[in-house]
C-alpha cells in the first residue's frame, strides 16, 4: 500500500533503526535510520536498554546523542496496560 502524501496514515509503520552496524543507502533500505539521531522518543529508550550501542556513522552512544538534542520533543512513558484493566 502506498501513501499519497508524506506522513499520511499507514497500515504498518516499522522503522529499522540499526542492524548490527551495517550501512545501507538504497531506495528500499537506509541503515542506520536517517533521522535516528534527531529523535528523543527513539534515543531515550535506546539509551536505557542498550547503553553501549553506538551510532554506526556518528560513533556516539545513544546517551551522547540524546544530550546533544535541543530542548523540546517531549516524550512520555505509556502506562502498564495490565494495570489499566484492573
- pLDDT tens per residue, range 23-33: 999 988 899 99
Identify the H or E element spanning 42.
helix 40-49
- pLDDT tens per residue, range 28-75: 889 999 999 999 999 999 999 998 899 999 999 999 999 999 988 888
Cβ neighbours for 37, distance < 8 A, ≥ 6 positions apart: 43, 55, 58, 60, 65
Amino acid at each position: 500500500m502506498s501513501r499519497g502524501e508524506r506522513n499520511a496514515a499507514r497500515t504498518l509503520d516499522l522503522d529499522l533503526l540499526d542492524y548490527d552496524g551495517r550501512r545501507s543507502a538504497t531506495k528500499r533500505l537506509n541503515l542506520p535510520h536517517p533521522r535516528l539521531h534527531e529523535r528523543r522518543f527513539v534515543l531515550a529508550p535506546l539509551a536505557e536498554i542498550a547503553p553501549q550501542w553506538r551510532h554506526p556513522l556518528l560513533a556516539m552512544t545513544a546517551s551522547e546523542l540524546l544530550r546533544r538534542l535541543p530542548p523540546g520533543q517531549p516524550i512520555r512513558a505509556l502506562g502498564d496496560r495490565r494495570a489499566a484493566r484492573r
